[in-house]
């Protein structure tokens, strides 16, 4: 009779799968895995052929007090646009890097973080994590070139409306590479 034993790697894999199945631990594990991705990846400028220009438009939004807000896109100022949600592990993983970038560039770049979640849910999330990011609820459909099916999806749009970065999934927005790109866009 052949005696079978479980290898330690099989035991660890089995525990990992079980933890992913349990709702209370799944999100924590997914955020941790996304943070690893954030450490490894930094967005890059799209190839010239992949860059698309948006027709200048006014993004109609609303703040948490239900006040209308408008942000001009493609009319003279760089814009960072993020589609995200509080329940999205990759979004949660990359938000610290977005906050750091916003802290340093918030006066020179329009930051537009968009969610369709209930304002009270988003406000509680931001307060708990001590974020002061400009988060809005869209009051119009985005232009087709800014429409994505997954979150997080983030864009950097130059002052003339050209999408120069499009990144889906968690990434390090506070990288030296992104800062250099923003510095060039700000100087014009």
What CA dihedral angle connects 109, 171, 51 and 60, to 10 degrees? -50
Averaged pLDDT, groups of 10, the chain, 188 residues long: 61 64 64 62 87 96 95 96 96 96 98 97 97 97 91 97 95 94 94
**Tens of pLDDT along 106-127?**
999 999 999 999 999 999 999 9
State residue 3's pLDDT score. Answer: 54
DSSP H helices, the chain, are 8-21, 23-40, 89-105, 119-129, 176-187
pTM for the full model?
Answer: 0.81
Domains and CATH numbers, the chain: 39-187 (3.40.30.10)
**Neighbour count for residue 47 (Cβ, 10 Å):** 7
Predicted pLDDT of residue 34: 59
Within a 10 A sphere around the Cβ of 157, how many other Cβ atoms?
Answer: 27
**102 vs 106: CA distance, rounded Å:** 5
What's the pLDDT score for residue 2? 55
Give the per-residue pLDDT at 95: 97
């Amino acid at each position: 009779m052949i005696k079978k034993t479980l290898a330690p790697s099989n035991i660890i894999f089995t525990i990992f799968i079980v933890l992913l199945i349990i709702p209370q631990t799944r999100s924590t594990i997914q955020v941790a895995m996304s943070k690893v991705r954030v450490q490894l990846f930094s967005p890059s400028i799209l190839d010239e052929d992949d860059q698309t220009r948006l027709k200048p438009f006014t993004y109609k939004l609303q703040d948490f007090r239900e006040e209308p807000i408008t942000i001009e896109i493609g009319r003279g100022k760089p814009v960072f646009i993020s589609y995200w949600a509080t329940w999205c592990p990759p979004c949660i993983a990359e938000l610290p890097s977005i906050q750091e970038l916003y802290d340093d560039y918030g006066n020179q770049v329009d930051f537009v973080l968009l969610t369709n979640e209930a304002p009270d849910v988003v406000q509680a999330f931001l307060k708990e994590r001590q974020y002061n990011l400009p988060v809005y609820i869209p009051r119009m459909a985005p232009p087709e070139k800014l429409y994505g099916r997954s979150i997080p999806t983030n864009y950097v749009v130059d002052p003339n409306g050209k999408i120069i970065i499009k990144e889906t999934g968690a990434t390090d927005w506070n990288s030296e590479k992104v800062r250099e790109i923003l510095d060039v866009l700000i100087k014009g």
